[in-house]
Structure 1
């Protein structure tokens, strides 16, 4: 049989049969010799006692009494003969139970005995006979009836034949039950493995077992759970990759549009200057100023693209140096205070009270902070105030940049620092959606934590500089 159930059935049945065969062989070939050996040993000890009685009891009458008592305990017959084969001491019926035929010779531990079959006291009575020479030149002969023992052994042998048939039937039934119980969970595990092969990872092995099969089932469950999680993660990554691909395409279209607009303006103004349409010097200066501003926009856009490309490719380098965060943030706010003078918006700045040293890339960190400030200013309501606050709490400098303006959709918040991402509320605003992505990656390189949340009237960015990173 090729199945595990069949092999277990045969193995269990074979084991039971082997055990029974050993028992049967023991009964058939070893019990009788063992019995004879025990009896001969008893006879030898009895003869030693006879020798002792002869030596310590000189009176024949005392000897006879001792021999009768010994024979009673011995459960056999004692006969003693002198050197001329004359009877010294014997049972009165010794001639009756001593006549018969020898049916078996026995040798135990180098001494010989034999089985004698007589017709006394009943027909086919069997005696185990053993004789030994005494130190007084006489011979002692001992006889023990063994007919009952032989009959018992024969009855047991016959009984074992019937028991063997019963044991065989019971063993077959038990082998079937045990093999079925042992292979049932294996079949379930096989079905479970087939389900896993078909990428169905929601299957579970539900039997509560404490043995090796239970451990295997638990391993299968862990494997199924792990594979299910892995497949879902891969599916998520694939969907994210597809979404990112869509964002890239939208980004390319957006960048193309963003570049096309200043290029068209620059091209139009240059043509106007070449054709002499602009006559006054003041108008020419205005045209040159517009051309410069549009080219500057293009320069910043291309710079952001190159930097984002370096960040994503892993070729972005950080040059860390000691920097005073108070002086660093004060410098940034001064630049924006000047920038917002001609704007309808204002900047509320809260400075650190003392100098705080941090190790970082000053240029790239300034660009990251500026990107977030630019984003806050871009989306702030007209005439509103942009918050720029810094504080030192528990070995951490926290920067909070806030504005009053449109909220960020909840579904957009986890994605706002992603590459090429522009939220739903960014429609109609200039930009490519890569400023925050660059800022996030710069912060990541410095192990600076950052997040964004909606407030009651706008949006708040929170950036935390850990001073333990110095």
Structure 2
């Protein structure tokens, strides 16, 4: 029931019923009042004219008794009763007949509203409407008819004889008028019931015609809200509802076009972000990352590894931008790469609702700068110094500065060692140049992985014991055969393990680990001094020596080993990466794809 009253049908029905009930009630009251006033005024005027005419006739008649009898018979014709009283209110004559109502005459004469006293005094009062009860109870102006008679009465003065005054009381019944009003009320009630039924039917019929398209609009709106922007409302009329349906269809069409445009724009933006070389990160007001692209994901992965204590990546920089409300630009070294970071606050009506970060990998540019800056120093250190030593010691021999054969032999040995060192350096430079030019010769073969790695492990065990370093091996891979160049790969692993042992202090540890199922992963990690963050981007460059203190105490290499190792791994189609923290150690990871069909 509550649903009906809350619906358009119920509200329209209640409105029509309320309006109809109001109109019918006002019309009934006005109609009954009009009947009542018209009948009362006309009957009152007729009775008053009749009474005055009779009294005038009686006053002019010599035979009062005969005239009274004639008047009584005349009143019977008009259903009018007549009572003649003397000045003492005693009844001296009255009319009788079946057509007259039986009323208590004593009560009639005692009615104050009749104004009989004024008539006895010679005045002419107006006719009055009375209700006489058979039990003598006065019920003036009451519509009840239980034991009572409604009448219209008038008292007029009459001179009964010379010197004797009296009055004539005439009365008429108004029961017919009350019956008429009752029938009118009954007729109005019947008309009201019929009109109520007809109005109810009309209201529900009209409201159903109105609500049917509204329901279709509601269903279409739900479909549009669920994403079906092609939904349309059938237009069946040309009225306001039809115009509303046309407007909704137009709105849905434009909304569909707008959504398509937004979708295309979103796809274009996503494609642009994916194809960008620079990383893009969008951060919301809570410091959470909501949008990234592949370069940014690579940066965030390395950042999280290096800063695990931060709740959100770049949280420190984000707080500075939010508090200051200004753009910030800075170069950040992260896990061997240098990133140029530009963070701009994202404004919304003068309020900061986040930040947009553009990240560019400038490692290559910095590498080129460092290579240009270090090239002269490296060549001077690696080539000019041995040449100077060769020149100096050879001049000493030529000038006979060595007086004994032992001194000649010592100088010759130094010249020989420096020439060997230069030969090794030149050979490595030539080998590296050929590799970088794409002329890497690999002689691949299927190698049993476990015996191969165990042999390399045993090769360094004695050296590790001499330095009091624990050398561990973990072979957790499921790969048994690997198609590699065993000599080249041994050259890479030898270089990595030798570097790890040289840069790990006593009581430290070096571990060799092999793992992976679909690709062979070789990992060499140590607990040494680590590599500074600013040097990580350059570890695979020529003549690299990160911390000169790392090579003190042992003969330093040429600085070409890691560059050669990277080229060898690239030739195998793999990758080599490095992760390090200063004072905690370094980990080199080699990943080589393996054909699992041969394993």
TM-score (norm 1): 0.44
Question: Looking at CA atoms only, which structure, 1 or 2, has the larger radius of gyration?
Answer: 2
**Structure with more relative contact order (C-alpha pairs < 8 Å, separation 6 or more):** 1
